[in-house]
A and B are shown apart, each in its own frame.
Chain A
Amino acid sequence: MPLFEPLKPVSPRSRLVLGASFFALFFLAWAGFTLSGIIPPLFLADPLTTLKTGVTLFTEFNFLRDIGITVWRVVGGFVAAALIAVPLGVAMGAFKPVEAFLEPFVSFCRYLPASAFIPLLILWAGVGEAQKLSVIFIGSVFQIILMVAVIVGATRRDLVEAAYTLGADGGGIVKRVLLPGAAPQIAETLRLVLGWAWTYVIVAELVGSSSGIGHMIMDSQRLLDTGQMIFGILCIGVIGLVSDLLFKWLNQRMYPWAF
């Protein structure tokens, strides 16, 4: 049996082993380059130093609070965006006049980079939480609207027709065909956008902020502490990975018919 057969699935065990081994390789390479002195600590701390500074971050600098604040900002901005964007996206996907009305404007807004709004948002909302949440909101809301509209619009026509012949009216089609049919993909879209929200929050925290993971990374730069910077970045990665896995698990639990 050849090792590389197109589209052939791998067993869950090998999947886990393969995924973990890349992490292992990555850390080995990192340790190799830094501990051997090929890369000086000023540019890149070695894994052990990174771990040690990480521990002091938690014990002496209350890093857990920074993490909590950042998580809250991501979740807050993202949930607000989802609450507004999903209904709008569904309305656009279901009703073509709504789509014709909103789609051009939303498409335009989608290309406005959220980070470019930071200076303006600081002017409008100061450097407080409202500004951080707005960056995430602006970065997520238009993306979600458009993707949800596409998903809902791509509902199988034959299912809609079948529902009509079973006596459904317009409202029934939306509630009982478009929504349940699109739900798993909408959930997957939210999972994707949540990942992007993480990148926006750090950018927002790099500018005019006194707390959060991004602020800690900024502070470390002043102290030239590459260990702290890398630890902060790794933390974001780990939180992102965990939330992604949770989201995925939840989706599979909620929509067993789709997976």
Chain B
Amino acid sequence: MSKLLIEGVSRVFPGVGGGAPTQALQPTDLTVEDNDFITILGPSGCGKSTLLRIVAGLDRPTTGRVLLDGQPVSRPGPDRGMVFQSYTLFPWLTVRENICFGLREKALPEARQKEIADYFIAQTGLAGFERHYPKMLSGGMQQRTALARALANDPKMLLLDEPFGALDNQTRALMQELLLGIWEADRKTVIFVTHDIDEAIFMANRVAVMSARPGRIKAIVEVDLPHPRHYTMKTTPEFSRYKAQLTEEIRAESIKAAQMEG
């Protein structure tokens, strides 16, 4: 059974101030299976966010369509949880209230909301911070909360747009393990966008490599590394082989991207 179908999806942004339109995404196909963890890897500006936003329903494709369980996606919905690169917690809500945002929208009883929130607070290591406002939290803590908020809604799939991109290296590594642990526990379908090769390999079952702008998926690499994964895996020869392979794939694209900008 396949879950998400991306069929010939492309996106052209109208030109600004009479300028030429920007093709952000070439017609792209991708199938994401149930319980898959796929990372989308590509140089910056290649259309990764554009593709993910179309899947989320936050943007409309110029051509093509996205099907989720056979239903065309036309608008955002709670079945596709999203974590953004920028910090998008609601500043006027505490950590707990942020996590309950979607649950309140579903009008779940208070007791049930609390139960679910408690579970994800524990799972994301936020215990003790429930009553903090976002501005009192570090970037890592904010992204944990954003992750818990998306998970609490029990979406069919998680869409993550460079969720750890603004974090320092140590925090980022911890968050990668945290997310991987959560995935290993309940195998929710994940599409994870990143420009970091290590991150793309470490997290993924499959890495979809995108070409330089206008992007399209130029290769899909199966990552056959065992679960559960531990950070020490990043220094194994298998990991290095994947890294060498993807570095080659990406390098060509990064050079193209740099030339286009120059």
Contact = CB atoms under 8 A, between A and B. Distances in A.
B90 A164 contact: no
A161 B53 CA distance: 10
Contact of B88 (A158, A167, A256): A158
B142 to A, nearest CB: 12
Nearest to B91: A257
A250 to B, nearest CB: 16
B133 A256 contact: yes
B81 interface: yes
B78 A165 contact: yes
A157 to B, nearest CB: 10
A168 B105 contact: yes
A176 B104 CA distance: 10
Nearest to A183: B92
A35 interface: no
A166 B77 CA distance: 7
B80 interface: yes
Contact of B76 (A161, A180, A181, A258): A161
Contact of A158 (B57, B75, B84): B84
B82 interface: yes
Interface residues of A, number: 21
B134 to A, nearest CB: 8
A161 B81 CA distance: 11
Contact of B105 (A158, A159, A172, A257): A172
Contacts of B58: 161, 164-165
- Of the listed residues B56, B57, B90, B135, the one surrounded by the most CB atoms of chain A closer than 10 A to its CB is B90
B112 to A, nearest CB: 15
A27 interface: no
A165 B81 contact: yes
A180 B98 CA distance: 13
B61 interface: no
Contacts of B163: none
B80 A166 contact: no
Chain B interface size, as a band, is 20 to 34
A167 B105 contact: yes
B77 A167 contact: yes
B153 interface: yes
Interface string B125-168: 00000000111000000000010011001000001000000000
Contacts of A159: 88, 90
A180 B57 CA distance: 25
Contact of B84 (A162, A183, A255, A258): A162
A71 interface: no
A165 B133 contact: no
Contacts of A167: 77-78, 102, 105-106, 153
Interface in A209-259: 255-258
Contacts of B106: 167
A258 B92 CA distance: 7
A163 interface: yes
Contact of A257 (B56, B92, B101, B104): B92
- Of the listed residues A159, A167, A176, A256, the one surrounded by the most CB atoms of chain B closer than 10 A to its CB is A167
A154 to B, nearest CB: 14
Contacts of B57: 164
Given A176-B101, A257-B133, A165 B80 contact: yes
B102 A180 contact: no
B66 to A, nearest CB: 14
Interface in A75-122: none
A257 B81 CA distance: 25
A230 B102 CA distance: 58
A158 B91 CA distance: 12
Interface in A172-187: 172, 176-177, 180-181, 183
B84 A164 contact: no
A156 B87 CA distance: 11
A164 B76 contact: yes
Given A159-B90, A167-B78, A167-B105, 7 more contacts: A163-B90, A165-B56, A165-B76, A165-B82, A166-B101, A180-B90, A180-B93
Interface of B: 56-58, 75-78, 80-82, 84, 86, 88, 90-93, 101-102, 104-106, 133-135, 146, 149-150, 153, 159
